[in-house]
Structure formats: C-alpha cells, structure tokens
C-alpha cells in the first residue's frame, strides 16, 4: 500500500472507530462491551464483545456515500422477512434504545451521517477454498440455501412492502458509471488486456439483453454470497448467511457467480457449479437456458471484482492486486470462444 493509500486508510478507520464508540451507547446493556474492528471494505464491521460473559454482537458502520438510509431500512426489512418466513439462519438486526434498528451518528467537524446497525453474532467457519472435496460438499448446501432465498423472494415479495435496494444489472455492474468503479481502471489492465476484456463485456451485454429480466430469473438477491459471508455450522451441517449490505435486484444466477468470487479461475470450479446446481434444484427448478448462461454471470462478476480491486485500498484489494486481472485472461479467452458469436 502506497503512502497516500495508507494515509487514506488510516484516516477512514479513525473516523469509523469514533463512530463505533458513539453507536455502541445507542443500544441497551452494552456499557461493559468492547468494540474491535474486524473488517473494512464497503463499510466497517466491528465485533462488540463482553469478554467476561462471552456475549457478542456485530456492529456495521456504513460508509456515508454508499447506501441511502431508506436502502438500509429496506435491507433490514428483508432480513426480518427471511427470518420470519424461512428456515435460513441469518444475522438478525437488533433494536436500539430508541426502538429503531438504524442508528445515525455524526462527528464533530464532519457533516456526514454514519448509519449503523447492530446484528446478532453467528458462530461458524467460513468455507476453506483450499479444501476441494469439503468445498464441493458445502456448495451443494450453498445452492440449496440460495434457492430458498430466491423462492422466498418470488413468493413473498408483496409482503415486504416497498423495497429500495440497488439494481445489479449490466449498467450498474459494467456500464459507463458502475457502482464499484470501472474494470478498465483496474490493476494490471494493459492495452491488450483492455481490448480482450472489452470483447467479453460486449458479449455479456448482448447475451443479457437477449436473456431478459423475467420475474422467475430476476428479483431480490443477496448479491454477495462469497465465502467470507457464509458461516458453516459443522454440528448442524447448515450454511448461515451474513452481510446483506449488497442485497438488491439482480439475476438469480448472479448469486451463484458471487459464491465463486475470487476463485473463478480455479480448476475445481466446474465441480462446484455442478454441486451448487444439485442443491439448488432440490428447492426450485432452473431451465436449460438459464444453466447455459452461467458462464456469462461468472464473467460479469469477475469484471466487477477487477473494478472493485482497482477502486479500493483495503487489505483484500492489496492482496489480490494485478494478479487477479492477469489470471482473468484465460477465462476471458475460453468465454469468448464459446459465447462471442453464439446467438
């Protein structure tokens, strides 16, 4: 990380740390709890813990320019609906002292509003992407859980009330002004690589225009089911889901692509996809047309992540760096060979 990025990182974390301490007192019974930063990405995530009792919560401090208040309230509304109408284990929002789920904090000398939400803490392990056989077994459960999300989205949408969440379509992912930045500005994007990936992006756009947004294939999705947001309860053998911060409206198969985030180039991915599909089909069907388009959603996510890495200064982006773009070349070539001229 360069000096400028390091300074930006330190200053951002300083603000978020101040906010977390102010937010904690907005909830009853947390006076004896410590607050420790766990992760800093789109938002800052903190562990709120009482070491004496081992009681734990998760506090999310939202980046001021990322989501509007109404969007965060919609996320909470969907989480409550999932908890009420499904068997999926999710991290639940907790009411503050003012009987509101969303708390807003301001800092002296900073006119921005920091929205905060406290969640229940879930015990579990994130999937090990280096343990192929175990990961394949887990992906069957991930597919099943994802299908339950989608079935709930389709069957209960009218019960949610008005939902204001981002739309994860081509324009907002790879268009002129995408939410996570332009992949063209990613790390390691040479003129030759930009030309190659431009062909991929054009092919994705064309194919998704033909694919359409029918209600049985496009709706409310989690949109970030990568391994860091999945907790495996080995005793109960279930997949628990956290971090609905990116939830929004998108293609249901995009959720599969997000489960392959950062590992799309690994040799075992076809086996993961097949396991995911087996689990998914236990809950709801997928048409052959939908299954044929899976590589398109995977490549769309891959380009989105190149943009994300290029526009972020956190540890994950630094670790992945330009190598992630380099490793995309072979995926891009294989995708174009199969789909570029296919109607």
Lowest mean pLDDT among 37-41, 85-89, 170-174, 284-288: 37-41
**Alpha helix (H) ranges present in 47-125?**
69-85
Looking at residues 88-108, what average pLDDT do you find?
96
221 bridge partner residues:
248
What pLDDT does 121 receive?
Answer: 98
DSSP state of 229: G
What is the predicted pLDDT for the residue at 3? 42
Q: Hey, how many other C-beta atoms are within 10 angstroms of the C-beta on 72? A: 24
CATH architecture of 132-339: Alpha-Beta Complex (3.90)
pLDDT for 2 equals: 41
> 3-class SS at 116?
strand
What are 275's two structure tokens?
């396991």
For 55-81, how does the pLDDT look when each residue is reduced to its tens digit (9 = 90+)? 999 999 999 888 999 999 999 999 999
pLDDT at 342: 66
Q: Does domain 3-120 have CATH number 3.30.200.20?
A: yes
Q: Mind listing the pLDDT tens digit for each residue in 124-141?
A: 999 999 999 999 999 999
Q: How many beta carbons lie within 10 A of that of residue 7, not counting itself?
A: 12
Supply the pLDDT for residue 318. Answer: 83
CA distance from start to end of the chain: 44
**How far is CA 324 from its chain centroid?**
18
pLDDT at 7 over 60: no
- Between CA 298 and CA 293 the distance in angstroms is 9
pLDDT of residue 1: 40
Residues 6+ apart with CB under 8 A from 72: 62, 102, 115, 117
Are the C-beta atoms of 277 and 286 separated by less than 8 Å?
Answer: yes
User: Around Cβ 273, how many Cβ atoms within 10 Å?
Assistant: 20
- Residue 186: phi and psi, rounded to 5, are -70, 170
Residue 110 is predicted with a pLDDT of: 85
Report the pLDDT value the prediction gives residue 8, as an integer from 0 to 100: 56
Q: Quick one: pLDDT band at residue 9, thresholds 50, 70, 90?
A: low
Distance of CA 138 to the CA centre of its chain: 18
Q: Which has more confidence, 266 or 317? A: 266
Over range 268-285, report the average pLDDT: 98
Check if the beta carbon of residue 17 is closer than 8 Å to that of residue 37.
Answer: yes
Please tell me whether residue 305 adopts helix, strand or coil conformation.
helix
pLDDT of 231-271, one tens digit each?
A: 999 887 899 999 999 999 999 999 999 999 999 999 999 99
The closest of 245, 248, 225, 229 to 169, measured between CA atoms, is 248
Pairing between strand 89-90 and 103-107? Answer: unpaired
Domain residue ranges of the chain, discontinuous segments joined by +: 3-120, 132-339
Task: Check residue 163 and give its pLDDT.
Answer: 87
Q: For residue 178, what pLDDT is reported?
A: 94
Position 10 scores a pLDDT of: 62
pLDDT at 123 over 70: yes
For the segment 204-209, the average pLDDT, to the nearest whole number, is 98
Tell me the pLDDT of the chain averaged across its residues.
Answer: 93
Of the chain, the percentage scoring pLDDT greater than 70 comes to 95
Higher pLDDT, 339 or 237: 339
Per-residue pLDDT, 83: 94
């Amino acid at each position: 990380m360069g000096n400028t990025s390091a300074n930006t990182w330190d200053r951002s974390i300083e603000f978020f740390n101040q906010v977390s301490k102010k937010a904690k007192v907005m909830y009853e019974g947390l006076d004896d709890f410590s607050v420790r930063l766990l992760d800093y990405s789109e938002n800052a995530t903190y562990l709120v813990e009482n070491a004496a009792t081992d009681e734990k919560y998760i506090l999310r401090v939202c980046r001021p320019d990322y989501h509007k208040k109404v969007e965060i309230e919609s996320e909470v509304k969907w989480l409550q609906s999932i908890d009420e109408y499904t068997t999926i284990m999710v991290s639940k929002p907790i009411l503050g002292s003012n009987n509101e789920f969303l708390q807003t904090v301001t800092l002296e000398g900073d006119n921005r509003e920091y929205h905060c939400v406290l969640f229940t803490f879930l015990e579990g392990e994130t999937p090990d992407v280096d343990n192929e056989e175990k990961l394949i077994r887990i992906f069957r459960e991930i597919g099943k859980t994802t299908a339950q999300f989608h079935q709930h989205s389709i069957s209960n949408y009218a019960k949610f009330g008005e939902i204001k969440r981002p739309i994860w379509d081509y324009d907002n992912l790879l268009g002129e002004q995408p939410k996570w930045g332009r992949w063209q500005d990613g790390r390691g994007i040479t003129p030759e690589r930009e030309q190659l990936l431009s062909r991929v992006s054009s092919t994705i756009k064309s194919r998704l225009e033909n694919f359409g947004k029918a209600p049985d294939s496009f709706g409310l999705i989690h949109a970030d089911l990568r391994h860091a947001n999945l907790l495996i309860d080995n005793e109960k053998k279930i997949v628990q889901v956290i971090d609905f911060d990116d939830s929004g409206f998108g293609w249901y198969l995009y959720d599969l692509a997000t489960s392959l985030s950062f590992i799309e180039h690994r040799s075992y991915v076809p086996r993961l996809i097949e396991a995911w599909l087996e689990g998914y089909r236990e809950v709801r069907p997928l048409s052959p047309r939908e299954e044929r388009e899976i590589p398109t959603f995977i490549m769309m996510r891959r380009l989105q992540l190149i943009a994300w890495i290029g526009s972020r200064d956190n540890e994950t982006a630094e670790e992945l760096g330009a190598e992630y773009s380099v490793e995309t070349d072979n995926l891009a070539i294989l995708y174009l060979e199969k789909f570029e001229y296919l109607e």
